[in-house]
Every structure is written in structure tokens, then in C-alpha cells.
Chain A
Amino acid sequence: MLAKIMQHEWLNLRADRTLWLVGGLFAVVIAYGIFNGTAWVRFQQTTLQAAAQDERERYAELKEETAGIAAGTRQPGKWTDPRSPAVVSARRGARYAMMPPTALAALSVGQSDLYPYYFQVSRSSKQTFINNEEIENPTNLLAGKFDLAFVMIYLYPLLILALSYNLLSQEKEQGTLAMMMAQPVALKTFVFGKIGLRAALILVLAIGLSLLGFLFSGVNLLAEGALGRLLLWIGVVALYGAFWFALAVVVNAFGKSSATNAITLAGLWLLFVLLVPSLVNVAVTTLAPVPSRVEMIQATRRASAEATTKGSQLLAKYFEDHPELVPANGQPDMNDFYTKFIAVQTETERLVQPVLAQFDQQLAKQQTLINTLRFLSPAIVTQAVLNDIAGTSHARYQHFLSLVDRFHAAWQQYFNPRILKQTQLTASEFDQVPQFSFAEESVGTIAQRALLGLLGLLIPVALIGWFGVQRLRRFPLAG
């Protein structure tokens, strides 16, 4: 019976202009979304390649110059001596820490247009290199990018609602419902058939078109972890779609007119996709306000001024604590620019630490709040899962930052003793200078975060679906 209903429904839909119009539009926006996402990924990759190239060139130059100095053909400059660890660990030999886009990054631009994706790590404090976000017109950032995630979160529900807002109301208005129900078929089966066919059509359209888009745009689905991410993606698209289908069934089950159904569903869409997220945002910023960055800038400045005035004292204490770092040629030079710099910087970082920690703590609190409040709207849940899958989430950025912190510490650990002991680097040592390598989050970690989100979709779908079925029993066939 179900198969027959679906078959008949297919004939009906095929004859209707709406399906082709809406389906065609959907194909266009999916293609455009993927195209845009891919363009952004390419832009990032090109930038990372240019940065890597810059690093290679600087190291080749350092080696060449060092060899030249050893051979006596070149003279070292006072502030640019390639053998000086202080010079190399600053601009000349600074290495890039990079977070390359994932295989599925084109899916969702997410927060990646706001966060930096590479840093030039040097011996200077983190504050000097951490603000490396991409240049962008703020008007464009405000609007957001037209990517596949936008299509899925905002437009995909509208497509579903456009095809199912008058699921029963139309049959009733045309008088075909009563005729249909005169046949030996349950209303429930009838609705399942209608919804089932639409769901199958839309899912095939959404997932099939996106897959085609990925293949055409050169996404490597064989890359490590790509398949796992892809499965998660299919899961979230299917469940998010199921949520809107379930809502359409419930609204139709009340037996109101098509126009009323359209208004009600548009209202629900507005509620879940626009209103709840913006109210959640208000709640989060009110309950866990981030301390002011302006205040942080001032605190950093106070700390560095304090450390600078104590400069020589700090240096003496530093050598007291680290006698092994006293240069081989005798007494530490209290006026040496670099040694003093390190002492002052270490102290500044120590003083600023509590302020920065307060920031991290408050940002983490916001994130925890969001993790709970997101279940109020399937749109927020879906956004979070899509960003996680694409690797454009806050979580992956945090992961990157922690790797950068570790690398920065390793960098200082490698160079600071050499600077303080005033040793000179040799040409062969350049290859041993620490290098950053980005360790991707494991698919397991991502799946763990994403599965909770999927559960946050599955439970409402089940509840609403169950309610819809209950309501259908009381469906007013006549009148």
C-alpha cells in the first residue's frame, strides 16, 4: 500500500511545477554554496603556500649568509647577524605555525573567516603574533558567506516546508482526502507515504548534489578522516531534514487551511532559525560576558611598564635562578639588549597571565553555556555539527592555539639559553631549529562532539513525530 501511495504521489509531484522550480533553485544554491566554500579554501591554501615559501627562502638565505661569513666573503650586520640566536629567533628565522583546512572545509566556512589560521612564531611574546586574522571588509563578515552550511541551515528547511506545508490541507481543500479515506487505507499510512516520498526526494537531492559538488570542486574524499566526516555530514543533514518534516506533519495534523499552515510553519522557521539563536546569543553574552579587551590591553601595558622599570633587577635575579646560563666568556652583560629583553618579557608574561586566563575561562564558560542552550534550536545544533565536521569550529581553533602555545614554549626553550649564553649558530644548526607540525584532531574526538549534537536532533524528531502521529488520529476529515 505504502509503495502505491508513494508511486501515486510521485506522479502527482512530477506533474506539479513547484517540485521542479524549487528543486532547480535548490540545485543552483547548493552548487553556488560549494563553489564559494571551495574558493575560500583555495584562498587559505594559497596563503599558506606563500607563507611556507617565505620561510624556506629566509632559511636558505640564513644558511648562505652564515656560510659566506665563515668563508670570510661576507660581513655580518650588527642587528642582522645570521649566527646570532637572538636575530634568528626573531624575524629572520621565525617559523610559521599553520592550521591547514580539512578535506571537508569547503562545507562550512564557519568561524574560519574570523580566526587566524597561521602565525609567525618568534621569541617575542604571544601577544605580538597572535592577532593575525585575515583582512576582510567588515560588511562582508557581517553578512556571512554564502556557503553550503548556509544553504543547509536556512534554505533547506524552507525547501522542505515549501513541499510539505499543504501535505493534507491541499487534499482536503480539493476534496480528494475524503475520497482517499474512503479506500481501505489508514490516514497514517497515507501521510507516511507522502512524507516518505518527499523525504527521499529531498535527501537524494541534498546529499547527491552536494557529493557531486564535492567531486567537481576537487574535494579528496579519500583523505584521512574524510569518509568519517562525510558520514557525519549525511547523518546531520538527514536528521535536520527529518525535524522539519516532522514539524510539517504536526502542523498539517491540526487540519487548518493551507494558508494558515504556511504562516504557522514560516513562523516556526523564524523561531528556530532566527529568533532562538539571537535570544540564545543575548542570554550567553549576559550570563557569561567576556571581559573587555580594552581592559586587557591596558593590563598588558601596565605589566610591561612594570617589568621594564625593574629590568636590570630582573636580569640579575634571572641569572641567580639560572646560573647555568651565564655566558662562557664570564660575567653576564647586564646591559645586553637581548638578555634584558628576555628577562623583561618573561616577567611581563607572568604578570599578564592572570588577565589572559580570565579571558580563556570566560570564553570557555560561554562555550559551555552554548553547548547546553544549543538544544533549544536544531539550527544551532546543526551549525555546530557542520562546523565541527568542516573543521571550522571554535574547538579546532582552540586545539590549534594549544599546539601553538606548546610550540612557542619549545621555541623559547631552544633559543633563550643560546641567547643568554651568547653562543653562535652554525649553518648545520638551522635544520635543527624546532618546526611546527599540525596534529589534526582525531575523528573520534570530533565524532564524540558531533554525536551529542545528532542526539539533540534525534530526540526532538522522535518526540515531534510521535506527537504528529497522535494528532493524526484526531484529524478532522470533514469540515
Chain B
Amino acid sequence: MIIRIARKEFTEMWRDGRFRLAALIVFSLLLVSLLTGWKHYRAVKTQHELAQAETRDQWLNQGTKSPHSAAHYGVYAFKPKLPLSLADRGVDNYVGQSVWLEAHKQNQFQYRPAQDATAVARFGELTAATVLQLLLPLLIVLLSFAAFAGEREDGTLRQLLSLGVKKSDLVLGKAAGVTGALGLLLVPATIIGVIALALAAESGSFAQSLPRLALMILSYLLYFGAFIGVALLVSARASSARVALVVLLGFWILNGLIAPRAASDLARRLYPTPSSFAFAQAMHHDIEKGLDGHNPQDQRAEQFKQAVFKKYGVTKEEDLPVSFAGLSLQQGEEEGNQVYDKHYAQLWDAFQQQNRWQQGASIAAPLLAIRSLSMGLAGTDFAQHRSFAESAEQYRRYFIKEVNGYMAVNAKGKDFGFMAGNEAWQKVAAFAYAAPPTGAVLRAQSLSLTLLALWFVLAMGGAIFAANRMKL
């Protein structure tokens, strides 16, 4: 019975010129967005790989200089993109593309692509994710607002039920019909998407992308299912097709337009973050006065000097078997690192609390859940940006320590006057970054996934419940 209802619904939708037009528009937009996403991914990937190779080359061939100047020269780190980012650019336009790793300082990422775009980009970028998250639900609304309300107005609902059709079968049949109609555009779009992904990724990273892709498809199906459920529920309850349409459009606006902005505003209020001015001043203060606030920099330097003298059993710098400058530079780094750890962790934790809160707010709007899941799986959410930033910072600490260590051992008696050559720079390993495994991403997104599944179950259950009790 369910199949028969589904087939009838499907045939009706297919014959409807309005549906064909809307589906064609959505399909073309999906195509355009996949194409531009693919092009963008290729371009950025090539740039970043070239730049990463060049920055390494510059480091290796910087020639004869003081190790400390080399540490100041530093290297740049560029965040690699995952192939799936072609479908969802996430926050990538709003975080810096690269970070300068140098002595003494943990720098912020620089050059957010959004700064080089025009204000029109703030209307939202055309990506597969925006089409799927915003436009497809609208198509679902168009397909299903009249499902019950329309049949009731036409008088066919009474006839249908007099045949003894179970109301729950009717709901499932109609849901299946809508799904079938959506399948007409989603199946080819997915195939094209997978081809784009295969073209974008090398064989190894393509295989790695598959679990993420499967999860992404599942998440989107849950999201669409939830929308179909809500639409059928409203249609069963509404007094007329017009009312059902207006209510569903209202829900769509709330879900797609109001919720993301309101949720981020509220999150910001609940977990405030400092201005960059206050952030920099707080770090500066801690570095000068010490983390406990009672241990100024010059006192700490003196204490360290005495400790080193004691360790080597000497009373003068000249008697040390190593370069004191190398040791004290590294000591400065260690103290700075503690300060950076404290402040950056506080800041980034606040961001993640804000994001977590927004995931929780998806209880009111499923878009928040799918948005978070989708960019998580595409590797373009803040959590994965942080993972890269932390990895880059670890590398900074590693190579600065190497260079300072080299200076401590070799620069005895010359300190800053000591010059090292390319053989010293080769001792530093290249920077390598591996994106977090799918399991870790899924754990971070568990709240979104749970709430999305809940939306799906409640919406479908609600639709059946409402259909069972609907007035004829």
C-alpha cells in the first residue's frame, strides 16, 4: 500500500510543471556550486602545497646567519584542505589562511579570505552545502504542504480513507513519494559530487574521504527526513493548504535565516571573548609580570642565571661550557609558551563552547545541527582549524628549541655573534600535519548528530500522530 501511495504521489509531482522547474533550478545550482567548489579546492590546494614547499626551501637555504635570526625568520604554515571541503567551505573564509611561526611569539592566523571579498559575499556563498541546507528544504515544503491539507480541500482525503487505507501508511507513502521526487535530483547530484571528489583527491585521500562522505550523506538524509516529517505534520494539522504553506514558510525562515544569527548572538553573550586589544595586553602583562603576577621578567632572568651557574658549578658566564644566550633564549620561550597556552586555550575554549551551545540550539532549528555536522565532516569547522593551529604551534616550539639548542651547544663565547650555516637548518624536520581522524570528528559532533536524529524521529512520529488524529 505504502508503495502504491508513493508511486501515485511521485507521478503527480513529476507531472507538476512547477516542481520540474524548481527541481531544475536547484539541480543547476548544485552543479554550479560543485563546479566552483572543485575549482576553488584545486586552486587553494596547489597554492598551499607550493607555498609550503617554498617556505621549507627558504628555511633550508637561508644561508649563514645567527641561529636567533633564523628563529626570527621562521617559517609559514598553510592549512591543507580536505577534498570534501569542495562541498562545504564552512568557516574557511573567516579564518586566516596562514600563520607565521617565529621566535618568541604565537601569532594569529592572517588573511581571512572574506576580507578580500566584497560585501555581497555576506549574503552567503554558493556551495553545495548552502543549496542542500537552505534550498532543498524549501523544495520539500513546496512538495508537501498540500499533502493532507490540499486533499482535504479537494475532498479526496475522505474518499481515500473510506477505502480503509491506514493513516500511518498514508504518511509513509507520501513521505516516500517526496523522497522519490527528491531522489530524482539528489542521486545524479551525488554521483556528480563523488566524481568531482575523485577528480579533486588523489587516490589515497579519496579512500580516506569515503567514510566522511558516507556520514555526510546520512546526515543530510536525516535532515531532509526531518523536514519532510515537519511538512507532513503541519499539512495534517493545518485548516487549509494556504495556512500550511504560510506556517511552513515561517518555519523555513526561522530555521534558515533567524536561527543561525540569533544562536550565534546568544552564544557570544553567554561565552564572551575579549577584544584582540585586551587579549594582546593580557598576554603582554603575563609575560612581563609572570603568570602569578609577582615575578617580573628581570627577576626571573636573574633567577635563571643563578640556577644555570649552580648547575654547571661556575660563577661567571665566561666559565660556562655552553652559550648562555642559547639557554636563556630557550628559557624565555618556555615562559612565553605557558602564557600562550593559558590565553589561547581560554580563547579557543570559549569559541568551542559557543559552537557547542549552537549545536545544542539545534533543538529549535535543525539547520544548526546539519551545518555543524556538514562542516565538521568537510574538515572546515573551527575545531579542525584549531587542531591545525595547535599543530603548527607545536612545530614552532619544536624548531625554536632545536635552533636554541644548537646555539647553546655551539655558540659558546660568541652568543649572538655566532653564525651557523645551512647544515644547522637541515637538522630541523619539515612540518607535517595530519587532519583528525573521522572518529574524533564524529565524537565532537555527537550532539549535532543526536539532535538531528531526534528531529527526524520526532518529526516523522509527529506526522503519523497528527495524521491519525486529523479532522476530515
Contacts and interface: CB of A to CB of B under 8 A. Distances in A.
Contacts of A50: 275, 277-278, 281
Given A50-B278, A135-B274, A295-B51, A142 B91 contact: yes
B47 A282 contact: no
What is the interface of chain A mostly: helix, strand, loop, or mixed? helix
B273 A293 contact: no
Interface string B250-293: 00010001101111110110000111111101000000000000
Contacts of A266: 138, 249
Interface in B121-165: 121-126, 130, 134-135, 138, 142, 146
Contacts of B245: 259, 262-263
B457 interface: no
Contacts of B29: 275
A367 B118 contact: yes
A154 B257 contact: yes
A51 interface: yes
B97 to A, nearest CB: 6
Nearest to B18: A263
A47 interface: yes
A274 B382 contact: no
Interface stretch (A180-188, A215-223, A320-328, A379-387): A379-387
A145 interface: yes
B14 interface: no
Contacts of A274: 123-124, 134
Contacts of B95: 138
Interface string B49-93: 001001100100011000000000000101000000000001101
B91 A135 contact: no
Contacts of B433: none
B98 A301 contact: no
A290 to B, nearest CB: 5
B422 interface: no
Nearest to B266: A146
Interface in A336-363: 359, 363
Interface string A72-99: 0000000000000000000000000000
B126 A279 contact: yes
Interface stretch (A108-116, A422-430, A449-457): A108-116
A46 B62 CA distance: 44
A393 B126 CA distance: 22
A359 B113 CA distance: 13
A25 to B, nearest CB: 10
B434 interface: no
A110 B347 contact: no
B246 interface: yes
A105 to B, nearest CB: 15
B118 A370 contact: yes
Interface string B407-447: 00000000000000000000000000000000000000000
Contacts of A282: 32, 36, 126
Given A366-B118, A370-B120, A137 B273 contact: yes
A234 interface: no
A144 B261 contact: yes
Nearest to B43: A292
Contact of B273 (A135, A262, A301): A135
Contacts of A384: 119
A297 B124 contact: no
Contacts of A275: 29
Interface residues of B, number: 79
Interface in A120-166: 131-146, 150, 154-155, 158, 162
Contact of A281 (B125, B134, B257): B125
Given A150-B261, A298-B51, A259 B124 contact: no
A258 interface: yes
Interface residues of A, number: 74
Contact of B120 (A138, A145, A281): A281
A115 B119 CA distance: 11
A133 B115 contact: yes
B126 A137 contact: no
Interface stretch (B5-13, B168-176, B214-222, B351-359): B351-359
Given A150-B261, A292-B47, A295-B47, A139 B120 contact: no
Interface string A415-450: 000000000000000000000000000000000000
B70 to A, nearest CB: 12
A277 interface: yes
Given A134-B276, A293-B97, A305-B58, A139 B355 contact: yes
Nearest to B131: A278
B300 interface: no
A264 B20 CA distance: 15
Contact of A141 (B91, B108, B279): B91
A275 B260 CA distance: 18
Interface in B12-35: 18, 29, 32
A46 B63 CA distance: 47
A294 interface: yes
B19 to A, nearest CB: 11
Interface string B334-378: 000000000000010011001100100000000000000000000
Given A132-B276, A139-B358, A142-B90, A297 B98 contact: yes
B242 A294 contact: no
B57 to A, nearest CB: 10
B119 A387 contact: yes
Contacts of B18: 263
B382 A138 contact: yes
A408 interface: no
B123 A278 contact: yes
Contact of A143 (B108, B126, B264): B264
A343 to B, nearest CB: 17
Contact of A131 (B55, B110, B258): B110
B191 interface: no
B29 to A, nearest CB: 7
Contacts of A102: none
A305 B62 CA distance: 8
B78 A139 contact: no
Contacts of B267: 137, 140
B48 interface: yes
B117 A281 contact: yes
A277 B123 contact: yes
B398 interface: no
A258 B245 CA distance: 10
Given A135-B273, A266-B249, A394-B119, 17 more contacts: A47-B275, A54-B281, A114-B112, A114-B115, A135-B275, A135-B276, A136-B94, A137-B350, A139-B91, A142-B91, A145-B261, A150-B261, A277-B120, A281-B126, A284-B118, A309-B63, A366-B117
5 contacts: A133-B112, A139-B354, A140-B264, A293-B97, A379-B123
- Among all A-B residue pairs, the 4 with the closest Cβ atoms: A277-B123, A138-B91, A138-B94, A293-B111
Interface of A: 36, 43, 46-47, 50-51, 54, 110-111, 114-115, 131-146, 150, 154-155, 158, 162, 258-259, 262-263, 266, 270, 273-275, 277-282, 284-286, 290, 292-295, 297-298, 301-302, 305, 309, 359, 363, 366-367, 370, 374, 379-380, 383-384, 387, 393-394
